[in-house]
Amino acid sequence: MRHLDVGPLMPNSDNDPFERRMFDVGVGINYEVDNATFTPVARIKLFDTCSFKLYKQPVFKFQRTWDLKIKGLALRTVYEVPLNALDAPWAPPARIMLRYWGV
C-alpha cells in the first residue's frame, strides 16, 4: 500500500514528540492467495484515531491507546463497524478488541 500524508503538521499526542500530517491516504492492491484474485484497497486515516477502509465492504475504524498509570500498563481499544451495519453498531459484524500491555 502506498501512503500520501496531507494536511497541516500537528502533534500526534502529548506523549509523542513527533508531528504528523492530519490525513493519511493509502491505496494499494491486495492479492488473495486462496482465490488467486487481486482486490483494490484504499484507506483514509485521520491521525492514528479513526480511519475509513474502502474495499470489499466500507468499514469505519476507531482506535485509541490509554495509559493506565498502573505499573506502566496501557490499554489499546479498536472498534470496527461496517458502514452498512451502523443501524446496530453493537451487533456483529461490528467488533471491539481490547489489548493491554506494559509500556
pLDDT tens-place values along the chain, 103 residues long: 666 666 666 665 555 556 667 788 888 888 889 989 998 889 888 877 899 988 778 999 999 888 888 877 888 899 999 999 889 888 899 999 999 877 5
- The Cα 3–Cα 62 span in angstroms is 19
- Total structural domains within the chain: 2
Answer with the one of 37, 56, 75 that is the final residue of a domain. Answer: 56
Q: Which of 98, 39, 43, 93 is nearest to 66 (CA)?
A: 98
Q: Which of 103, 67, 59, 62 is nearest to 79 (CA)?
A: 62
Residue range(s) defining the domain that contains residue 25: 1-56
Residues 68 and 98 in one domain: yes
**What pLDDT does 69 receive?**
82
- The Cα 77–Cα 55 span in angstroms is 23
**What pLDDT does 71 receive?**
79
CA dihedral 18, 20, 47, 29 (to 10 degrees): -120
What H or E segment, with its residue span, contains residue 81?
A: strand 73-82
